[in-house]
Structure 1
């Protein structure tokens, strides 16, 4: 698992890129978002970006290990 500082950076990048893509749908933004999603998955040992985001957030300082709020729909 990657260092928490790296994970925080990847999560922030992904969230920002997802917002940008939702606003204008630029192909370059989508490509970069896919790259960050892949890196998140590799860094957390997951195969799905949503699972990677949950795993990364649980590794960040201050995360509660019993908090499953991100898993509820």
Structure 2
């Protein structure tokens, strides 16, 4: 089972935010949040360290939307719409 790209993107963004806060010397307690995000990223990507997790996450995110675009194009070619009519 693969983590949905939206969730994966959120985890990467959260990791980057927590990293910036730590670097900036924030007085806010970020240690537990950082550990939680690192753990979740590693589990979500099937890796054991944050560098590998970020690499896998970014690779998945770079290709994740291709399937959706191709699905939309196929639907358009077949005369179907990906949006439902209101009403």
Please indicate the TM-score interval, normalised by the length of the shorter structure: 0.7 to 0.9
The Cα shift of 1:61 comes to 4.1
Name the counterpart of 1:4: 5
TM-score, scaled to structure 1: 0.76
Bigger mean CA offset, 4-13 vs 27-36: 27-36
Aligned length: 63
Determine the structure 1 residue equivalent to 2:23: 22
Match runs of 1:25-36 below 5 Å: 26=27, 28-36=29-37
Question: Which residue number in structure 1 is paired with residue 40 of structure 2?
Answer: 39
Higher RCO, Cα 8 Å, sep 6+: 1
- Kept in 2, the 8 Å contact 1:44–1:55? The answer is yes
* Residue 25 (structure 1) shift: 5.3
Length-normalised TM-score, structure 2: 0.65
Whole-Å separation in 1 of the counterparts to 2:61 and 2:39: 19
Equivalent residue, structure 1, for 2:78: none
Q: CA deviation at 1:18?
A: 0.4
Runs of 4+ with >3 A deviation: none
